[in-house]
Structure 1
Amino acid sequence: MKGWAIAAVVALLASHWAAYQHGLSVERANAGLASAQRDSGDRLAEVIGERDARQEEQRRATAQEQARANAQEERTIADAGAADADAAGQRLRDEASKLAATVSCPGTDTTAITRGQAATRAAMVLSDLLARADERAGDLAQAYDRARIAGLACEASYNTLIK
């Protein structure tokens, strides 16, 4: 009986060992499947994240290009306005020069001639001051326009990045 009991114990242990090994292999297979599903989900999330990031990058690049195009259009408009203002300023300076040239008083009275010469010099000085002031005002207006346009373009570009 002893041999039979030992054989039964060995058979029982062997069946338990086989069941244990089968359980381990099933658990490993389930863990591998779960790992594969997790990896697949991670890869899908990564692909979706990359796609979203590319779309956001494209949106920002398009918005920045639009901001640059708008700024260029505004610069063109400002330059045209500056050219018109320069032309108007030149006409004003020409008229002031003509006026300064016609201020003199012709005549035989030396006092009137002296006063006319003084008035002519004063008109010429005023004409020159007007010309310089107009030129400087044009330069300042042009610098202001360029700075304003650049600032607005920078702000628009920044706003595209933070949205």
Structure 2
Amino acid sequence: MKPIWLQVLPCIAALTLAAGALFGAYHHGVTVTDEKWQSAWNARDTRDAEAKSLNEAAERTREQAYQQSINKAVQDGQRNIDQAMADAAAARASADGLRGAADNLARRLAASEASGNSCTAAASKAAARAAAVLADVLKRADQRAGDLAAVADQARARGMTCEQAYDGLIRSSALH
């Protein structure tokens, strides 16, 4: 009779082969599944990268549209400010003529005061002083009004520039 271990050896070998075959099948299934998932993840990563690239390009285009809108508003605003400054300079030149006329009137009254007779000298002197004060007040008021008008024109032009830039941004964002 054969020893027991020789009788059990074929069973152990068969069990070992069966276990090895089962482990090999299991390992092959895990490998195939891992490769399948890895392939799916790689495809997802590729789609994500493409979507990111498309989104970045769309955002760059939108940003460039915003910037062009703002640049146009700034150029238009600067043109308005330049026009306001030119108008203010023209108004100053016109006002200089008015101030010169007021100074000439005050000088003529002062000259007529000096050449007048003694009975009308006091009245003439008072009138000349009043005319000089009036001419000075007129010059100062006109100068201040010109300064305020220049500031108001520039503030208006700047406000319109901001409004135009804002409207451009709103229109651009409504399109996207």
TM-score range, shorter chain: 0.7 to 0.9
Structure 1 runs of 4+ aligned residues shifted over 6 Å read: 105-108
Question: Relative to 1, partners in 2 of residues 1:62 and 1:99: Cα closer, same or farther, differing over 3 Å?
Answer: same
Which structure 2 residues correspond to residues 82-101 of structure 1 after superposition, within 5 A? Answer: 82-101=88-107
How far the C-alpha of 1:40 sits from its partner, in A, is 0.2
> Could you tell me which residue of structure 2 aligns to residue 121 of structure 1?
129
* From 21, 27, 30, the counterpart of 1:24: 30
Measure the CA separation in 1 of the matches of 2:116 and 2:22. Answer: 142
Gaps of 5+ in 2: 1-6
Contact 2:85 2:154 in 1 (8 A): no
Q: Counterpart of 1:37 in structure 2: which amino acid?
A: A
Of the structure 1 ranges 108-117 and 91-100, higher mean CA displacement relative to structure 2 is found in 108-117
Q: Counterpart of 2:142 in structure 1: which amino acid?
A: D
Measure the CA separation in 2 of the matches of 1:132 and 1:122. Answer: 15
Report the structure number with the largest CA radius of gyration. Answer: 2
Instruction: State the SS of the aligned residue for 1:47.
Output: helix
* Identical residues among aligned pairs (%): 36
Measure the CA separation in 1 of the matches of 2:123 and 2:154. Answer: 46
Q: Are 1:141 and 2:141 counterparts?
A: no
> Could you tell me which residue of structure 2 aligns to residue 79 of structure 1?
85
State how many pairs are aligned: 163
Instruction: Select the structure with the greater relative contact order (CA < 8 A; seq sep ≥ 6).
Output: 2
How far the C-alpha of 1:119 sits from its partner, in A, is 1.5
Q: TM-score, normalised by structure 1?
A: 0.81
Question: Relative to 1, partners in 2 of residues 1:68 and 1:34: Cα closer, same or farther, differing over 3 Å?
Answer: same
> Could you tell me which residue of structure 2 aligns to residue 64 of structure 1?
70
Q: Are 1:131 and 2:139 counterparts?
A: yes
Measure the CA separation in 2 of the matches of 1:158 and 1:149. Answer: 14
Q: TM-score, normalised by structure 2?
A: 0.76
Of the structure 1 ranges 6-15 and 120-129, higher mean CA displacement relative to structure 2 is found in 6-15
Measure the CA separation in 2 of the matches of 1:54 and 1:128. Answer: 60
1:82-106, Cα deviation, whole Å (9 max, x unpaired): 0121122112112223333444479
Measure the CA separation in 2 of the matches of 1:108 and 1:25. Answer: 124
Q: Counterpart of 1:85 in structure 2: which amino acid?
A: A
Measure the CA separation in 2 of the matches of 1:107 and 1:33. Answer: 112
How far the C-alpha of 1:116 sits from its partner, in A, is 2.4
> Could you tell me which residue of structure 2 aligns to residue 51 of structure 1?
57
